[in-house]
Amino acid sequence: MKKYIHPYALAGVVPACFFLIFYFYPLSGIFIKSFFDPLLNQEKLSFVFLEQIFLSPRVMKIIWFTFWQAGLSTLLTLIFALPSAFVMSHYAFRGKKIIKTLASIPFVLPAIVVATAFQACFGENSFFGFTIENPLILILLAHIFYNFSVMLRIITGFWASLQGQIKEAAMVLGASPLQVFLNITLPLLKPAILAASILVFIFCFSSFGIILILGGPSYSTIEAEIYRQAAHMFNLPVASSLSLIQIIFTFSLMWVYTLFTKKAARFAPDSGQANLKKPDLWWEKTLIAAVLAFIIALCVIPLLALVIKSLSHNGEWTFFYYKALFHNTSDSIFYIPPFHAVKFSFLFAGTALVIALITGLCAALFIRFADCNISNKLSTFFDPIFMLPLSTSAVTLGFGIIITLDKPPLNLRTSIFLIPIVHALVGFPFVLRSILPALRSIPKNLTDAASTLGASPLKILRYIDLPLISKGLVAGAIFAFTISLGEFGATIFTARPETPTIPIAIYRFLSQPGAINYGQAMAVSTILMVATAIGFITIENFRIENSEGF
């Protein structure tokens, strides 16, 4: 009997080639630039650029500040997230789903929109009349706003699973609520808290848009210094060395994160639905009211300030700044109408959606096939490999692609397709995490029965798998689209002057003086905020309950 390769196994070739060309090859280019000095001897291993970094007091101060601000941001986020996670995991109350969605919106907002919102809320000429002059405080507040939902959702999901028979059995045996928390809940909750903290630390460590807009030159991080060395000083070897340091550290942290995630999953009781209670006591109602007030204030006030600033001109309510986006006024820094950035962003996002959806679906089919037919170890190996872009800074990805894909046959530096390719790479992990849980939820005996009745793998894909994972596909597509709209770190390297995106337009507006530029930045940020918020709310409606991932 003639053997053939299953189409689902062949599907793995698509994401493998995509990653080899646009992920691993650019990272290898960074490695080469870091250790081989082209000015001395390109074939000779050299540590001269690493020495420049570690012997420079200024760069070492930047590295220290990167770790310090990330650690403090993570600690503050945890302090605010824990009480909120307790309320969300223990109590049932009206409007809980709306609050949960509202708390999650900040994380899906582009970082540059978050930075612009906090500048509108607490910066010079703040609408609320309260100005924070210390950039570090603004950075910390923006990081709490941006990462609060990550901490909240991870800890809430795990904590809710603990509200079952373990707690009830301990209390029956005479344990007090405090003893139950200290001796049972906290040890079981510890891996989830550590996993969430590490993930937030990675996001703060590789923060770029927030640091660039709110921090300025005085509060630079490794990410911002990579951009400065590459784009302003044209010192590509030093930028490569900094990127290598960042890659090693973030990869190490991501490895630790996966360990804690597995440990949390191993000790999480399978209790089904959480036993949520209605608040009866006065202190329960007070705690819930305080948490809800905090979440609403945290998530609404900065975004409300952004909208208000975009609609306010010379003390009057007007759409002046929105109308200005369609015209190339004398005060504009663009030689094309700024609204073109919106057009290009949607064009790139649509293309990135197609690329990410195809590669993400192929990766999910391959992992699912490996789970059922080859080896669980194979899927366990490739699953985290496909998630690597999530732990790699967008600035590093964009920089690596620029310094490697500049020669035939992969000379894409001037290609208009480079931007959607990079955006698809950044959005790929989210697409995979949207599709794979849906695919894994399909009973294997269903597809086995169809195969026994003579259905080919392609017919099974068309008539069984695709219809059953349609919600995951839609969620993944929206994820890819909204992430592309807001991508800034990699785009700042790959975008050309005549094809700006919305985040690039916002950054250019904020970089130039003048009320018209500032107002247009607020207007474009509001457009981007509304688009991403609508996308996320739609994703929440299509998201599979109890699916893995954020």
pLDDT digits (tens, 9 = 90+) for 3-19: 567 788 888 899 999 99
Helix (H, G, I), strand (E, B) or coil at 38: coil
Nearest to 518 by CA among 388, 331, 279, 385: 331
Residue 18 confidence (pLDDT): 94
Highest mean pLDDT among 165-179, 212-226, 249-263, 401-415: 212-226
Give the span between the Cα atoms of 167 and 289, in whole angstroms: 25
Residue 45 confidence (pLDDT): 62
Q: Would you state the torsion angle of the CA atoms of residues 332, 336, 340, 344, taken in this order, to the nearest 10 degrees?
A: -120
- Inter-residue contact 321 to 519 (CB < 8 Å): yes
Give the span between the Cα atoms of 283 and 538, in whole angstroms: 35
Q: What are phi and psi of 514, to 5 degrees?
A: 115, 140
Tell me: the pLDDT tens digits for 309-345? 888 887 788 888 888 877 765 554 445 567 778 889 9
Residue 140 confidence (pLDDT): 94
Tell me: the pLDDT tens digits for 160-180? 877 655 666 666 666 666 677
For domain 12-28+61-310+320-542, give the CATH superfamily.
MetI-like (1.10.3720.10)
Residue 550 confidence (pLDDT): 47
Q: What does each C-alpha distance from 522 to 174, 309, 335, 517 come to in angstroms?
A: 58, 6, 20, 9
Residue 424 confidence (pLDDT): 94
Residue type, 106: P
Residue 267 confidence (pLDDT): 54
Sequence ranges of the domains in the chain: 12-28+61-310+320-542
Residue 127 confidence (pLDDT): 62
Residue 276 confidence (pLDDT): 77
Confidence check: pLDDT of 79 > 80: yes
Residue 48 confidence (pLDDT): 67
Residue 201 confidence (pLDDT): 94
For the chain, helix, strand, coil in percent to 5 are 75, 0, 25
- pLDDT-derived band at 31 (thresholds 50, 70, 90) equals confident
At 313, which helix (H) or strand (E)?
strand 312-313
Q: How many residues does the chain have?
A: 550
Nearest to 143 by CA among 180, 197, 222, 93: 197
Average pLDDT of the chain, as a whole number? 82
Residue 425 confidence (pLDDT): 93
Residue 168 confidence (pLDDT): 62
Helix (H, G, I), strand (E, B) or coil at 36: strand
Give the span between the Cα atoms of 399 and 180, in whole angstroms: 50
Q: Would you state the torsion angle of the CA atoms of residues 187, 190, 192, 195, taken in this order, to the nearest 10 degrees?
A: -150
Residue 448 confidence (pLDDT): 78
Q: What does each C-alpha distance from 140 to 26, 74, 89, 134, 259 come to in angstroms?
A: 32, 9, 26, 10, 27
Confidence check: pLDDT of 43 > 70: no
Output the six-digit token pair for 10: 């062949």
Q: Would you state the torsion angle of the CA atoms of residues 174, 178, 179, 185, taken in this order, to the nearest 10 degrees?
A: 110
Compute the average pLDDT of residues 206-230. 86
- pLDDT-derived band at 272 (thresholds 50, 70, 90) equals very low
Compute the average pLDDT of residues 254-277. 64
Confidence check: pLDDT of 56 > 70: yes
Residue 164 confidence (pLDDT): 59
Give the span between the Cα atoms of 347 and 338, in whole angstroms: 15
Residue 269 confidence (pLDDT): 52
